[in-house]
Chains A and B, each alone.
Chain A
Amino acid sequence: MSVLEQISENLQKGKANDVKVLVQQAIDEGTEPGSILNDGLLAGMAIIGAKFKKNEVYVPEVLVAARAMKFGTEILQPHLAAAGVKPIGSVVVGTVKGDLHDIGKNLVSMMLEGAGFNVIDIGIDQPAENFVNAAIENNAAVIGASALLTTTMTNMKEVANAVKASEIAGKTKLMIGGAPVTQAFCDEIGADGYAADAASAADLAKSIIA
C-alpha cells in the first residue's frame, strides 16, 4: 500500500497519530503537498462521507476521522502554502439566532474541510448580519446556516433576506440544513440549496460554486 493509501486508511479509522506520522513521511519522501492533501487526506474523508450518507457509519466515526484529518493538515499546511495550493473556496458556517445546537454545524464544517474548503465557523445563536459580515470579511463563496429547532429554522429566512440586501447578493450562495429543514422550505425562503446531511452539504457546496 502506498503512503497516500495508508494516510486514507488510517484517517478512516480515526488513527490521528498514525496519520500525522504518515503525512510527515510523505513530505519527507518528497510527495507533492497537493497530492498528500487530495489523494491521502481528502480521499479518506470522501469515503467516510459517502459511508455516513449511506448510514454505514455514524457521528463518532466522522468525528474521529475529522480529528485525524486535522492532525494531518496541521503539519501539511506550511507545505501547502509554500507550494501555492489554495483551498477551493471559503465557507462561513453557523447556527442561526435562537438556536444553541452545534453538533450538526460542526459535522458540516468537518465535511467541508474534508472536501477542501476553508471553513469560518461563526458559532451558535448567530444573528443574520453576522453571517453576512463574516462572508464579506472572508470573501466567502458560500454561507451555510444550520438550525435544529422548528422554532428557529424560520430565522434562516432572515439570513436569506440579509444576503439579498447586501453587497454579496448574487455572489455568495446560501445553503441551509438541519433536522426540520426541507427542500420546500429552502425554495420558500429563496436559499440556494438544501442538504439532508453533512456529507451532502459538502457535495452541495462544491456544486453551487461550480
Chain B
Amino acid sequence: MNTITEAIANGKILVSDGAWGTLLQESGLEPGACPELWCTDHRDAVLRIASNYIKAGSHIIGTNSFGANRYKLEHFGLADRVTEINEAAAAISREAAGPDRHVMGSVGPTGKMLVMGDITESELDAAFTEQIIALEKGGADACCIETMTALDEATIAVKTAKKNTNLEVLATFTFERTVQGEYRTMMGVAPAEMAQALVEAGANVIGANCGNGMEQMVEIVEELRAAVPCTSILVQANAGMPVNIDGKTTFPESPEEMAKNARAVITAGANIIGGCCGSTPAHIKAIVESIEQ
C-alpha cells in the first residue's frame, strides 16, 4: 500500500470519513458518557461505524480515540487505560479497513492549556506519546492531530508522533470567522501561521476540520495553500451550519450538496476531503462518487 502522501503525489484525491460521535449516539451512547470506552465495551457498534465508512468508499478512516488521552479519560476514571483503549480503537478500524485502506488514529486536544500553566510541555508530550504509540501498535498507519486550536499543543503532538512512531502525521485546526472576516482559532491562530508551524514540526499533511461548513472551508484552504504550496491539505467539514428545527439540531447539507461543496474545496487546493459533525456514510458515498466521475 502507498502512503497517503505517495497516493496524493500520484495525483489522487482521497476521501476520509464522516462523523463518529453522532453515529455512536444513534447506537445508544448516552450524552456525557465516554465514547472511547465503547472501543472495549461495545466493540461491535464501533466496528459497524468504521465498516459503514469503508463500504461508503472512504480511502482513509479515523478511529474512535479522539478523547482517549489521559487527561480526558481522567474525567471518567479511565486515565490508566489509555494504551488499551487506543490499541482497541486502531484495531477496530484496521479490521474494517483491511490492508488496503488507511487507518488514521484520531488524537484530539487534552483540554489543558500551556498558557495557563495547567500543564507542562513534558506532561503534554508524555500524554500524546502514550496515546500515539498505542494507536500505531493497534494497527494505524497514520494519525490525525485534530480539532486543535493552540500551536504549542499541536506542535508537541506532531513532534512526538514523528519522533516515536512511523505513522504519517496529519494535523487539523478548527478555524472560525472573526468579526473582521478573517479566520482564526479560538486561541488566535491564523491558517497561514498554523500551516507553517506544523510543516516545520514535521506534519506530512495539514488542514482544517469542523467549523462552519464547506463554504468557509474554501477560503481557509486558499489561505493554507498559499502558505504551504507543496504540502497536502486535508479538510473535514461539518455538513453545513447547524440549525434548530423543533428543538432538534440538524445539519442542513444533504449528501449531494456536501459533494458539490467538496468539489469547490478540492479546486481551492485540498487533497483529502471528508466530513465532521453531521456527516454520515451517505455524505461520504456522495463525495466519493462525485470525485470518481
B187:A188 contact, CB within 8 angstroms: no
CB distance from B6 to the nearest CB of A (A): 37
Q: Which of B31, B111, B186 makes the CB contact (< 8 A) with A99?
A: B31
A150:B187 contact, CB within 8 angstroms: no
Q: Which of A55, A57, A63, A180 makes the CB contact (< 8 A) with B180?
A: A55
Interface residues of B in 154-174 (CB under 8 A from A): none
Q: What 0/1 pattern do residues 169 to 197 of B give for CB contact below 8 A with A?
A: 00000000011101011111000000000
A154:B187 contact, CB within 8 angstroms: no
A60:B31 contact, CB within 8 angstroms: no
Interface of B, secondary structure class, is: loop
Indicate whether A151 sits within 8 Å of B249 (C-beta atoms), given known contacts A58-B188, A99-B31: yes
Closest to B30 in A: A98
Interface residues of B in 234-253 (CB under 8 A from A): 242, 244, 247-249, 251
B32:A63 contact, CB within 8 angstroms: no
Interface residues of A in 41-81 (CB under 8 A from B): 53-55, 57-61, 63-64, 67
A55:B32 contact, CB within 8 angstroms: no
Q: Which of A64, A97, A180, A188 makes the CB contact (< 8 A) with B32?
A: A97
Task: Please give, as numbers and ranges, the residues of chain B lying within 8 Å of A154 by CB-CB distance.
Answer: 247-249
**How far is A184 from B246 in the complex, measured between Cα atoms in Å?**
11
CB distance from B68 to the nearest CB of A (A): 14
A153 within 8 A of B: yes
B32:A184 contact, CB within 8 angstroms: no
B5 within 8 A of A: no
CB distance from B110 to the nearest CB of A (A): 12
Q: What 0/1 pattern do residues 61 to 90 of B give for CB contact below 8 A with A?
A: 000000000000001000000000000000
A203 within 8 A of B: no
B25 within 8 A of A: yes
Interface residues on B, range: 20 to 34
Closest to A97 in B: B32
CB distance from B112 to the nearest CB of A (A): 11
A180:B247 contact, CB within 8 angstroms: no
A98:B184 contact, CB within 8 angstroms: no
* Max count, chain A CB within 10 A of own CB: residue among B30, B115, B182: B115
A59:B188 contact, CB within 8 angstroms: yes
B22 within 8 A of A: yes
**How far is A157 from B248 in the complex, measured between Cα atoms in Å?**
11
Q: What 0/1 pattern do residues 178 to 208 of A give for CB contact below 8 A with B?
A: 0010101100110000000000000000000
* B-to-A contact residues, CB < 8 Å: 21-22, 25, 30-32, 75, 111, 113, 115-116, 149-150, 178-180, 182, 184-188, 242, 244, 247-249, 251, 277-278
Subset of 26 A-B contacts with CB under 8 Å: A55-B179, A55-B182, A55-B184, A58-B184, A58-B187, A59-B149, A59-B187, A60-B115, A60-B150, A63-B115, A63-B116, A64-B115, A97-B31, A97-B32, A98-B31, A99-B31, A100-B32, A100-B75, A150-B277, A150-B278, A151-B25, A153-B249, A180-B242, A182-B244, A188-B244, A189-B247
